[in-house]
Amino acid sequence: MLGGIEAGGTKFVCAVGEAPDRIEDKLVIPTETPEKTFSAVRDFFRAHLPLEALGVASFGPIDLSPASSAYGALLNTPKLAWRNASYIKALSTLDCPIAVDTDVNGAALGEQTYGAGQGCDTLAYVTVGTGIGAGVVHQGKSLIGAGHYELGHIRPPRDPERDPYEGCCPSHGDCLEGLASGPAIMERWGAALNELSGLAPAIDLIADYLGHLALTLALAHRPDRILFGGGVMKTPGLIESVRVKTFGLVGGYVDLPAPDRFIQPPGLGDDAGVVGAVRLAENMRTQAG
Ligand code: ZN
């Protein structure tokens, strides 16, 4: 059996199965303190031992450098109780190899293997929700540098006349996440984007900002496809608008597939994260074997 955890700011989704597309048991656990949540996570997996490997696709920031003594530990997350919490340490009693990656890299892996990224050599996965993040996978492996990518914090231009909202990122104010995440939309307009869906200018503005992320991905990573998931992306009309903005910004400079092939919603829906987490475990088993 393989195990997977999609670790998010509000819930942990734990799953076991023989393969990422054959999940046999699943449990959703609320994200409370690390002590409480990890205790419930261990209880779930103990009922399914032995595990060949466990994959964790986690919210961040998180230390992913295999040489680091803090590998698999959360870094300066705004969730203070979770700072320095380590998946490797907390789950060591399960006695199996543990692979840790970001939630978006995990989702990208799951989508590349089983979802809307099948057939793509290089795939980018973007989530637009409580935060904004992007993961990139190339031939079944996620890409990182000295740390994982932080593309939610690029700085799209903001016209103060069109958008007087100064952004909500504690570090940057009007970075992409500060302007286009769910909390930014709520603070600016007092409602979620899908509740404003008659309001075309709001969709147009958010799509402009997200188009800059797709532009950056298209130029830096040359993906075959970019998937846009997360709660904000469920707004009708938004993904279509992001396609138009992206192609306008790219300006034909690089060759891209047709807009509706290049930018798509995830194929696994809300399961992308947990399927990706089990896929991380499967990769680890392959390496070990
Ligand atoms: Zn920021």
Q: Tens digits of per-residue pLDDT, 242-281?
A: 999 999 999 999 999 999 999 999 999 888 899 999 999 9
11, 47: one domain: yes
Average pLDDT, the chain: 95
| Ligand 1 center from residue 171 Cα (angstroms) | 5
How far apart are alpha carbons 2 and 51 in whole angstroms?
A: 6
152, 249: one domain: yes
User: Has residue 287 been placed in a domain?
Assistant: no
| Ligand 1 center from residue 75 Cα (angstroms) | 16
Q: CATH number of the domain at 134, please.
A: 3.30.420.40
Q: Determine the residue type at 57.
A: A
142, 37: one domain: no
79, 216: one domain: no
pTM for the whole structure? 0.95
How far apart are alpha carbons 249 and 36 in whole angstroms?
A: 46
86, 214: one domain: no
pLDDT of res. 199: 82
User: Has residue 246 been placed in a domain?
Assistant: yes
CA angle 143/146/147 to nearest 5° reads 70
Q: What is the mean pLDDT of residues 63-79?
A: 92
Q: CB–CB of 64/71 below 8 Å? A: yes
| Ligand 1 center from residue 197 Cα (angstroms) | 26
Q: What is the mean pLDDT of residues 108-119?
A: 96
123, 251: one domain: yes
243, 187: one domain: yes
Give the model's confidence band at 196: pLDDT under 50 very low, under 70 low, under 90 confident, else very high. confident
pLDDT of res. 286: 85
| Ligand 1 center from residue 42 Cα (angstroms) | 34
88, 126: one domain: no
pLDDT of res. 61: 94
Give the model's confidence band at 101: pLDDT under 50 very low, under 70 low, under 90 confident, else very high. very high
Token code pair at residue 248: 């306008």
173, 217: one domain: yes
| Ligand 1 center from residue 95 Cα (angstroms) | 37
Domain range spanning residue 61? 2-106
47, 164: one domain: no
| Ligand 1 center from residue 131 Cα (angstroms) | 10
pLDDT of res. 197: 61
87, 140: one domain: no
pLDDT of res. 35: 97
